[in-house]
Structure 1
């Protein structure tokens, strides 16, 4: 099933021709306040028990055309956004040149796989523009795109072995890990508002299929910038889940960005980005400049 959030954070299923509103089929009241709503994380946790009920609701319709709703990011108040670093060999290789150009040196410690955190407030939905901070632009720092497969945690847990990791995955989405190329901590440089576009929906694992054979592509202004298959991940999805869960408890609705493919590069105000992953859809967004000191 393709699950989405739309309009005032209602829950829907994406079908041919549009969206079926599932909100009334959920066993809890709708809360339209994105600051207080916990229903999305509850759905992530309890999806297996609710799947048949939701499938019945989808079968009964009605279908609302996609162009009549506003899609939101398919995540609400995740306890954390985890991101994998240095997880494609060709990207690790290209980062030597990127760091020489943007930092004047190579930070060797950044060339090995690990995980870090991004602020949940950096999430942005489909069609919501990426806002480049005014101070970053004024300083002349490059801001780069990184298109990634994103894992959505269903059943939480700690110390999850790789062989059981997929029992804890609800599904997958498409993400962009927007990054300021400047000195300093990864988490700060990747956590500005709108620096984690996500969408256009969440495809549950049973529909998405194996996560070791997704084709990822990013177009910027219609030109290909990135193309890779998740078979090329240095650390595969189950091992990422294992590694992260040894450090921190994974909670329902948490997001894991699985790593940047090769081909990262600058984005500028006016650019239009289209990130696609086979079977998961296309995440479209644009780039704009911040107009004040807060962005």
Structure 2
């Protein structure tokens, strides 16, 4: 079904990605006042070499695309008929913070945190979406959940100042940094296919309160495992973006994820993980070990080790 949309009625939207019946990538929006409809914006996005979400972000960053005009002629799709994927399904890179909450540093008995470690990269091929399945690759290794607040870059950033960093942000989303524990390089342990669930929506900064006022909560099988205030980040979002941009050029659609708080714990076949951050939509995934094999590397007994018992969730202060 399709019809012209009333842009005056739909001024607050959240961006999404999905695939059509031909498996082609499409980009859309969900209006806050009518979440039963997905507004397909693909036809209005300029052509280019990347997927439609990256093209939308790139065009918006230079004023070549505006939501108001696109929403006026967008095609309406019933939300129940659309299967969302990660909002940015093909970022050029995912830049991640290794230890960016002091309570997580304590829980891992780690001597180092982001001040010493810097950042690391996750493979873009590890990205998956809301209501997907995290597939554990090995039968003999520990895998943990890590809930994180993630930023999607809107304008190319290189050597930006922390004071200007948020001007380079297009939006925010929830992210799970799934992790194999051990001594292998972080980029290996965190880059298995399906190990970066994101979404379900991409929310623009004007729709979210101050970052320092946001709260993160994560549940496994309905039990609260992680709870943190983003004000407790060691490097806040502007400083993290500024540092990352001093190392590498950040392109529109790149993802910068801020690190996880205490409360990481093992996940197993059949588990369900849910992540909620103030102002963002809840991200949920399942876990499966179908097809898992023995691990070919020998890092199981190395590297920082979280406690075998779950770290108690600290009350909000």
TM-score scaled by length of structure 2: 0.81
- Equivalent runs, 1:190-229 vs 2, <5 Å: 190-229=190-229
- Structure 2 Cα separation of the partners of residues 18 and 222 of structure 1: 28
- CA distance in 1: counterparts of 2:14 and 2:294, whole angstroms: 35
The answer to whether the aligner puts 1:265 opposite 2:265 as a matched pair is yes
Q: Residue in 2 aligned with 1:9?
A: 25
- C-alpha distance 51-282 of structure 1, shift in aligned 2 (>3 A): farther
Check 1:211–1:86 CA distance in 2 against 1; reply closer, same or farther (3 A cut).
same
Tell me whether 1:88 sits opposite 2:104 in the alignment. no
Q: Report 1 or 2 for greater relative contact order, CA contacts < 8 Å, sequence distance ≥ 6.
A: 1
In structure 1, the residue corresponding to 2:273 is in which secondary structure?
A: strand
Identify unmatched segments of 5+ residues in structure 1.
30-35, 97-105
The separation in 2 between residues aligned to 1:61 and 1:77, in whole angstroms, is 23
Deviation at 1:79, TM superposition (A): 1.4
- 8 Å CA contact retained: 2:46, 2:59: no
1:47 aligns with 2:66: no
CA 1:86–1:25 in structure 2 vs 1: closer, same or farther (change >3 Å)? same
Q: Compute the displacement of 1:50 (Å).
A: 5.1
- Partner of 2:37 in structure 1? 18
Three-state SS of the structure 2 residue aligned to 1:75 is coil
**How many correspondences in the alignment?**
274
**Are the aligned partners of 1:123 and 1:197 in contact in 2 as well (CA < 8 Å)?**
yes
SS in 2 for 1:197: strand
Q: Distance in 1 between matches of 2:244 and 2:168?
A: 13
Unaligned segments of structure 2, at least 5 residues: 1-12, 296-317
**1:121 alignment counterpart:** 125
CA RMSD, 1 decimal: 2.0
